[in-house]
Structure 1
Amino acid sequence: MRLDLMTVVGILAGMAVVIAGIATSGSLMLFWNLPSVLITVCGSFTALLIKFNFDQIKKVLVTTKMAFTTSPTERTELVERFSWLAKKARREGLLALEDEINEEEDLFFAKGMQMMVDAMEPELIREILETDISQTQRRHELGQDVFNTWALLAPAFGMIGTLIGLIQMLSKLDDPSALGPSMAVALLTTFYGALLANLIFIPIVGKLGLKSDEELLGKKIIIEGIIGIQSGMNPRILDEKLKAFLPPDARNAEGTQEGGPAINAAG
């Protein structure tokens, strides 16, 4: 795993643009109000706790790492790895791949290889691994659902804070000089809600979706590769089959197939 700089840079750059825009037109302190922060952030989070249970929230904290990290493993490396494994299995037999299992960092990959070496039926291997993929997909969808819900709740609680501020402002109609500052404070919660939803939560939903699609596609390559080796498919045919999962510009790329580098676990 390594840090996904694009996510971090995007958030920091977005905040910098907003702060710079505020700083060039007025005081930054005009845009800070603790009660507004509490209503927008804490209020929307408490609403999340109504929809999701505590265990689901904890799982989402783990899933969120996907948005801020990237796996060094790419689909091209997976295809190259299976090409090498298929040739080794054809020369030395499936049992020769047992040593590769202990060195494998990706638990999904290692699980599939172990079932392959144990000579399980291809249909059963596929069924087990596809069930694993389904559970992974459900976990990823939960993470996206949480942030998507939060993206809806934050502006809503921002509007609630604005209504609270307007009520307080209207109670001071006998003092016209207080109306302007009170209105400014009232609008801050709407500002916070819109900022959180559009700069953080909605982009994170999109990033989690992209990372999930990439991870699940990698797992599908693993399934097809393992089933192909276990069924004795010709290494060249297997290589062409797996290359169908690659983008067109990567299908003709020359890869190193003299060794089998371990595949790191996906985010």
Structure 2
Amino acid sequence: MKIDFGNKNKKLLIIAVMLLIIGQSLIGSISLEVLFNLTALQIIFAGIFISVFVSFPMTTLSDTLRITKESFLKEIDYAEDIHKIHSLAVKVKKDGLLSIQSDIDREEDIFLKDGMILLNDYKKSEVIKDILQKDIESRETNLFKPYNVFKMISHVAPSLGLIGTLVGLIGLLSNINQPYEIMNNMAAALVSTLYGSLIANFIAVPIMVRIKEYIDKNVLRYNIITEGILLIAQNDSARNVFDKMNVMLKEGERLQYPGNGMNERNSQLHELKI
């Protein structure tokens, strides 16, 4: 699938401009000395790390970093999968199922490789469907773990901001006769709430939405592959395999059939007559 770098660059430029506007409004309203309050930073970030490390195993946290990175950098290439499965369908029609063994050995994508192995093992289409659907459910569950991490951060960060506010107010009241300490504690109190809201609404929630979109794209890819494998198992024609996978894409993303569609359809009709 072709990546539109022009649109990506425009998007990044818009985000950068909006961040500059927000930064300018913050700095214009609050001095840098007050905005970067060490006490507030310690409460918010230490609290987030403690909450996350207590709640999730290290494997989930490492997967969160990996999947978050992939959601920004990795493009899901439906076209490659559709063309690859169409080629398998043509090969199976021509030379039989055993001919795809070399393709299985070369395939690097685990999900597609597992589907090809099931197909090559002569399992019934119902069995293949059941196995692949369970595989999709398991993969979807694993992909949702990073989503849950950021969901927790979006809930915890504002609460920690309120805790920072309470700590600042307690410090304010305990130093009521010391004007300098009153100002420091008041700054920590208010800035903590600001930090919590910014982390929740400008970092955690947007990343959650991005991960959810990445999950949806992966699940669609798995369903497209599953549909193609099942159609091959049912001995459907190569053209039908391609078309039924292709219509699962959005209308503007659908692919042009790579082969001579009329000849394949005539061949299919000839097979039916026989």
CA RMSD of aligned residues (A): 2.7
Partner of 1:187: 190
* Cα-to-partner distance string for 1:157-185 (whole Å, 9 max, x where unaligned): 01101110111012222234653443122
Partner of 2:256: 254
Q: In structure 2, do the counterparts of structure 1 residues 176 and 34 end up closer, same or farther at CA, with 3 Å as the change threshold?
A: closer
**Of 65, 70, 73, the match for 1:69:** 73
Give distance in 1, aligned partners of 2:177 and 2:81.
Answer: 72
Task: State the 1:43 CA deviation.
Answer: 0.7
CA contact (8 A) 1:154 1:196 kept: yes
Give distance in 2, aligned partners of 1:10 and 1:59.
Answer: 29
Matched, 1:115 2:118: yes
Task: State the 1:67 CA deviation.
Answer: 2.8
Q: In structure 2, do the counterparts of structure 1 residues 220 and 10 end up closer, same or farther at CA, with 3 Å as the change threshold?
A: farther
Matched, 1:95 2:115: no
How many percent of aligned residue pairs carry the same amino acid?
Answer: 30
Matched, 1:50 2:54: yes
CA contact (8 A) 1:80 1:257 kept: no
Give distance in 1, aligned partners of 2:72 and 2:151.
Answer: 17
**Of 20, 23, 42, the match for 2:24:** 20
Give distance in 2, aligned partners of 1:60 and 1:51.
Answer: 13
**Of 217, 220, 243, the match for 1:217:** 220
2:175 is paired with a residue whose SS is: coil
State which structure, 1 or 2, has the greater radius of gyration over its C-alpha atoms: 2
Gap regions ≥5 residues in structure 1? 259-267
Tell me which amino acid in the other structure corresponds to 1:39. I
Task: State the 1:15 CA deviation.
Answer: 4.6
Give distance in 2, aligned partners of 1:60 and 1:228.
Answer: 35
Give distance in 2, aligned partners of 1:132 and 1:65.
Answer: 23
Partner of 2:271: none
* Cα-to-partner distance string for 1:27-66 (whole Å, 9 max, x where unaligned): 4232112221121011122123333334433333333333
2:187 is paired with a residue whose SS is: helix
Give distance in 2, aligned partners of 1:127 and 1:200.
Answer: 38
User: TM-score under structure 2 normalisation?
Assistant: 0.82
**Of 15, 21, 35, the match for 2:39:** 35
Single out whichever of 81-90 and 38-47 deviates more from structure 2.
Answer: 81-90
Tell me which amino acid in the other structure corresponds to 2:54. I
Task: State the 1:204 CA deviation.
Answer: 0.8
Partner of 1:206: 209
Partner of 1:239: 242
Task: State the 1:226 CA deviation.
Answer: 0.8
Count of residues in Structure 1 that have an aligned counterpart in Structure 2: 254
Structure-to-structure mapping, 1:142-157, within 5 angstroms: 142-157=145-160
Single out whichever of 99-108 and 58-67 deviates more from structure 2.
Answer: 58-67
Tell me which amino acid in the other structure corresponds to 1:63. I
Gap regions ≥5 residues in structure 2? 261-274
Task: State the 1:186 CA deviation.
Answer: 1.7
Give distance in 2, aligned partners of 1:257 and 1:28.
Answer: 63
Give distance in 2, aligned partners of 1:119 and 1:231.
Answer: 11
Which structure exhibits the higher relative contact order, with contacts defined as CA atoms closer than 8 Å and separated by 6 or more residues? 1
Q: In structure 2, do the counterparts of structure 1 residues 244 and 59 end up closer, same or farther at CA, with 3 Å as the change threshold?
A: same
Task: State the 1:197 CA deviation.
Answer: 0.8
Give distance in 1, aligned partners of 2:13 and 2:143.
Answer: 23
Q: In structure 2, do the counterparts of structure 1 residues 200 and 67 end up closer, same or farther at CA, with 3 Å as the change threshold?
A: farther
Give distance in 2, aligned partners of 1:77 and 1:225.
Answer: 13
Structure with the bigger percentage of helix: 2
Give distance in 2, aligned partners of 1:206 and 1:66.
Answer: 14
